[in-house]
Amino acid sequence: MEVKRSLDPRPSRGFHEALKDLKPQEAFVIYPGGETFPVGEGVFAAPLGAVMERLWRG
């Protein structure tokens, strides 16, 4: 996960480098917007509540 304060939730270079090393099934950029949408392969921009719900459901 990466957290952004901006409404433009572009993952940082370091985030992408970490994904290469860790190879997670999915990853999230948490931002203050209201919608969830893909920002890359297996990477989603989402509000905190949506990410928490996703993690809770498993």
At residue 25, the pLDDT reads 92
Retrieve residue 34's tokens: 């209201």
Q: For residues 27 and 45, what is the distance between their CA atoms, to the nearest angstrom?
A: 9
Q: Which domain holds residue 35?
A: 2-57
**Chain centre distance of CA 41:** 11
Our CA dihedral for 38, 27, 47, 34, rounded to 10 degrees, sits at 0
Report the pLDDT value the prediction gives residue 46, as an integer from 0 to 100: 98
Joined together, the tokens standing for residue 36 give 């969830």
* pLDDT confidence of residue 27: 96
pLDDT at 11: 94
| pLDDT confidence of residue 53 | 94
Which portions of the chain are predicted below pLDDT 50? Answer: none
pLDDT at 1: 94
Our count of domains for the chain comes to 1
